[in-house]
Amino acid sequence: MSHHSGYYLLGAFALGVAVAAAYNKHRDTQRHTLIDVDANRHLKQQQKLISKLAKINDLDTLQKSLVQFENSLEKGAGTIKEGIEGCIGDTPLIKIKSLSEYTGCDILVKAEFLNGAGNSPKDRVALSIIEMAEEKGLLIPHSGDTIYEGTVGSTGISLAAICRARGYKAHICMPNDMAIEKSDLLLKLGAEVERVRPAPIVDQNQFVNLARKRAEEHTASPDKPGRGLFADQFETEANWRAHFTGTGPEIYEQTGGLLDAFVSGAGTGGTISGVALFLKSKLPDVKIVLADPPGSGLYNRVKFGVMFDSKEREGTRRRHQVDTIVEGIGINRVTHNFDVGRELIDDAIRVNDQQAIDMAQWLVEHDGIFVGSSSAVNCVAATKLAKTLGPGHRIVTLLCDSGARHLSKFWKHTEPVGGAENDVSLEKILDA
Ligand SMILES: Cc1ncc(COP(=O)(O)O)c(C=O)c1O
């Protein structure tokens, strides 16, 4: 064994002994300590110290640092999360280096795919819907009470996971043209899944209408235990409020209030409305910009005050919701959740499918970030906005879910990721 590896072994051993001693010393305290508001700060301090320790290459300094580490463990007691619900919110804000270098702006993304239950911003909404219903006495655990929802996938996955944790059942109605991974995942979470033909909102069997009907049927049925609760993500107050009290304040805190614009797509509109309402209350000059895929009526609503053009009018097109491979954003009606923040939206940027596909691939090639379609749309729009605003601005957007949810559909359209030398340039992506 070389002198060099012997040294690292000794260091690792010393670190192990110190960690074990500190852990034993504080185990009981940790067991009885409630999660406190400083928990995350302590955790971050510990992570910093550990990474510092790994870089030390003389023994005296290493020993001194171990004492510091032990003290930080003491302070960090209480960082244990209360169930999977405790892993929702407080997501990291990440600077996308490639897009920031290209634009001369800070392009910051809130990593909402790191929410711990269903791995999307819908965790916040699902938890908020369930907690609100529990407060009103509308849900009783282990009674057979079942939550019904119409969703393109993400909200269903979050609801199904949290329902399991809280003793409820979940029944999800979704369009049958959404990526199969999402319904597979729902089934693995023990939800009942109905994949239905895409249809306009005027159709009683449209996925949202069907979920409402199923909830009513459950409540009326003498054969089914418990009651049916329609989650109603498009219209419920719980949706935008989850972002008003969570996502918005987190962005404000993580940027120290220093941001020029927030960019987001809208599915229900809960995210853009909730964040806009919070940020504009603190920063009246912040720009709120909608990122919209093809076929959605929201772009026209924001830019010109009219919801539909003849091509996009709901009920006249064969394929409802919108004509795009992007999932989760774009809609052809003004939902309550969009309406709540509608007047605060300053501008809209249209992003086509090719741009979204190329951006998703770009993010993997250059930044090692593997995301789904709505996240890619957000990043195209944020980069376009940065080019318009000019260097020196700071723009925040969201990474909603992982590319793993989109392998069979959106990601199927990408070229194999082979190396940065193969990609389309950002200029081309933005101009496509
Ligand atoms: C993956 C994904 N991204 C973004 C959104 C849009 O969020 P919101 O419904 O808050 O507008 C959704 C909505 O379902 C989604 O599934």
- Domain ranges for the chain, please list them: 3-80, 87-116+239-431, 122-230
Domain 87-116+239-431 has CATH 3.40.250.10: no
Mean pLDDT score, 15-42: 50
Given a cut of 70, whether residue 30 has pLDDT beyond it is no
Picking from 198-202, 223-227, 394-398, which range would have the lowest pLDDT averaged per residue?
Answer: 198-202
Supply the residue whose CA is at minimum distance from atom 4 of ligand 1. 328
268 alpha carbon – ligand 1 mean position (Å) = 7
Overall average pLDDT of the 253-262 stretch:
98
Residue of minimum CA distance from atom 1 in ligand 1: 328
What mean pLDDT is predicted for residues 269-297? Answer: 97
Q: Which CATH class is domain 122-230?
A: alpha beta
- Cα 394 to ligand 1 centroid, rounded to whole Å: 23
Any idea which of 5-19, 327-341, 360-374 has the lowest mean pLDDT? 5-19
Q: Is 270 in the pocket of ligand 1 (CB under 6 A)?
A: yes
430 CB less than 6 Å from ligand 1? no
User: What pLDDT does 21 receive?
Assistant: 52
* Whole-angstrom distance, CA of residue 105 vs CA of residue 392: 5
In the reported structure, the alpha carbon of residue 92 is separated from the centroid of ligand 1 by a whole-number distance in angstroms of 18
Same fold, 87-116+239-431 and 122-230: yes
Q: Is the CB of 400 under 6 A from ligand 1?
A: yes
Query: Partners of 147 in the beta sheet?
Result: 170, 229
Which of 346, 190, 317, 375 lies closest to 383, judged by CA? Answer: 375
Q: Which residue has the tokens 């359209």?
A: 413
Average pLDDT over every residue of 51-62? 81
The pLDDT, as a whole number, for residue 58 is 84
Please give the pLDDT value at position 313. Answer: 53
Query: Which of ligand 1's atoms lies nearest the C-alpha of 269?
Result: 11
Tell me the mean pLDDT in the region 35-63. Answer: 74
Distance 236 CA to ligand 1 centre (A): 15
Ligand 1 atom closest to the CA of 268, numbered from 1 = 9
Say how many Å lie between the CA of residue 266 and the centre of ligand 1.
6
- Please give, one letter per residue, the 3-state secondary structure of the chain: CCHHHHHHHHHHHHHHHHHHHHHHHHHHHHHHCCCCCCHHHHHHHHHHHHHHHHHCCCHHHHHHHHHHHHHHHHHHCCCCCCCHHHHCCCCCEEECHHHHHHHCCEEEEEEHHHCCCCCCCHHHHHHHHHHHHHHCCCCCCCCCCEEEEECCCHHHHHHHHHHHHHCCEEEEEEECCCCHHHHHHHHHCCCEEEEECCCCCCCCCCHHHHHHHHHHHHHHCCCCCCCEEECCCCCCHHHHHHHHHHHHHHHHHHCCCCCCEEEECCCCCHHHHHHHHHHHHHCCCCEEEEEECCCCCHHHHHHHCCCCCCCCCCCCCCCCCCCCCCCCCCCCCCCHHHHCCHHHCCEEEECCHHHHHHHHHHHHHHHCCCECHHHHHHHHHHHHHHHHHCCCCEEEEEECCEHHHHCCCCHHHCCCCCCHHHCCCHHHHHHC
Task: Give the rounded percent of residues in the chain with a pLDDT score beyond 90.
Answer: 72
| pLDDT at position 301 | 95
Q: Is the CB of 372 under 6 A from ligand 1?
A: yes
CB of 292 closer than 6 A to ligand 1? no
How far does residue 288's CA lie from ligand 1's centre (Å)?
A: 16
What confidence tens digit (pLDDT) does each residue in 321-353 have? 557 999 999 999 999 999 999 999 999 999 999
Among protein residues, the one with the nearest Cα to ligand 1's atom 14 is 328
Whether ligand 1 lies within 6 angstroms of the CB of 268 is answered as yes
Query: How many A from CA of 137 to the centre of ligand 1?
Result: 28
Determine the average pLDDT of the residues in 40-55: 75
More confident residue, 354 or 432: 354
> Atom of ligand 1 at shortest distance to CA of 375?
3
The model's pTM is: 0.83
